[in-house]
Amino acid sequence: MKKFLLTTAAVALTTAISLADAKADAAKADVKVTITGNDQMKYDKGEIEAKSGQTIAITFKNIGALPKEAMGHNVVILKPGSDITKFAIGGVANKAGDYLPLDPALAALVVAKTKILGPKEEETIVFKAGAAGDYPFLCTFPGHFGIMKGVLKVK
Ligand SMILES: [Cu+2]
């Protein structure tokens, strides 16, 4: 029992540190963007802009009320030229893995991602903008990518 408690404390501490790091990184980011997703299966932004080499902090908020199992959302940013239809369909069966494709060729397309978020949940991700190009982003919850998609334009 003692060992279990120690392990739990260590995990909690590690989590607290990584959350603090993420917050510090987000505060220092060159580009800060908030995107929302709602029960109408819509993002409030279809385009994000950044310059190559800049750090980008994206805070994604699910502002809907429907349960996560019915209307969960995420934001997954892919490499330029990625086929989002192929990517989304490749992940449809992977409920336990946030509907991300397990196929290594498709998994390798991911630049940055949030978890699938339920109502009122939010997550901030921080990453560096790569080479200039159009980086497609989408929600991988089954059936959402047709509407929930956009482009990160890196100049
Ligand atoms: Cu969605």
Residue position matching structure tokens 């397309």: 109
Distance 65 CA to ligand 1 centre (A): 13
pLDDT > 70? residue 1: no
Distance 22 CA to ligand 1 centre (A): 23
For residue 107, count other CB atoms closer than 10 A to its CB. Answer: 14
pLDDT > 60? residue 4: no
The whole model's pTM is what?
0.87
- DSSP track, the chain: -HHHHHHHHHHHHHHHHHHHHHHHHHHH-SEEEEEEE-TTS-BS-SEEEE-TT-EEEEEEEE---S-HHHH-B--EEE-TT--HHHHHHHHTT-GGGTT---SHHHHTTEEEEPPPB-TT-EEEEEEE--SSEEEEEE--STT-TTTSEEEEEE-
Q: What are phi and psi of 6, to 5 degrees?
A: -60, -45
Residue 4: how many CA atoms within 13 Å on its side-chain side? 1
Distance 10 CA to ligand 1 centre (A): 34
Residue 29's pLDDT is 95
Residue 20's pLDDT is 67
Residue position matching structure tokens 């109408």: 40
Distance 144 CA to ligand 1 centre (A): 5
Bridge partners of 134, per DSSP, are 153
pLDDT > 80? residue 17: no
pLDDT > 90? residue 12: no
Distance 33 CA to ligand 1 centre (A): 18
- Determine the Cα angle at 28 with ends 24 and 30, to 5°: 145
* 88-146 per-position pLDDT tens digit: 999 999 999 999 999 999 999 999 999 999 999 999 999 999 999 999 999 999 999 99
Q: Indicate the pLDDT class of residue 24, thresholds 50, 70 and 90.
A: confident
Distance 117 CA to ligand 1 centre (A): 9
Distance 15 CA to ligand 1 centre (A): 26
Distance 23 CA to ligand 1 centre (A): 24
User: Which residue has better confidence, 9 or 102?
Assistant: 102
Distance 3 CA to ligand 1 centre (A): 40
Average pLDDT over residues 77-97: 98
Average pLDDT over residues 71-90: 98
2-154: CATH, from 3.40.50.11540, 2.60.40.420, 3.40.190.10, 3.50.50.60: 2.60.40.420
